[in-house]
Amino acid sequence: MAYRQVLLLAAAAIAAAILLAPASAEDFTVGDAAGWTLKYPAVWTDGKAFVVGDSLMFMYPSDKHNVMEVMGTDFKAYNVTGNALGTWNSGSDTVPLAKVGRRWFVCGVGNHCAQGMKFLVVTADSSAQAPAAPPSSSASFVSGAISQAMAAAGAVAAAALMF
């Protein structure tokens, strides 16, 4: 009897650990294959859910572009000479999304911002339910792994009940 209770407790602990594990942070390459260039797709953020802990990776030729974080008013006015909240220019920059809120990014070179090198990212709390995004292969993998773990935990519990 005690052995069965130990097995049930172990199965429940395994299932709880898997179900309660936090989602891992995601690194988003801005512009996907196009990168942070004049070919940057204006709809890049569509369908993406950004949460605290994620990062934006900007890949671009450093002699042609940069990354500036600006206020919303500067973003709307294409003002790249205002007070930048941050500027990156290495050509391979990672910007962590460390808090909830809106952040505006532009290219500060020439008129690149006016040509479409700009976007707004809205970061949600990682513990809040994010808006539904199209399923990805990683989401399918996680879902499958949880299903398999639950099935294994159920099998352990069923086996424990037989003893």
Q: Per DSSP, what are the bridge partners of residue 92?
A: 59
Per-residue model confidence as pLDDT tens digits over 45-57: 999 999 999 999 9
Sort 134 into a burial class: Cβ within 10 Å, 0-12 / 13-18 / 19+: exposed
Compute the average pLDDT of residues 10-20: 46
**pLDDT band for position 151 (50/70/90)?**
very low
Which stretch of 13-27, 90-104, 108-122, 123-137 has the lowest confidence by average pLDDT? 13-27
- Smallest CA-to-CA distance from 51 within 129, 120, 105, 134 is with 129
The angle at the Cα of 108, spanning 103 to 110, to the nearest 5 degrees, equals 150
Given this model, what pLDDT does residue 83 score?
A: 83
Given this model, what pLDDT does residue 50 score?
A: 96
**pLDDT band for position 25 (50/70/90)?**
confident
pLDDT above 50 for 17? no
- Smallest CA-to-CA distance from 152 within 53, 6, 13 is with 13
pLDDT above 80 for 86? yes
Enter the pTM of the model: 0.66
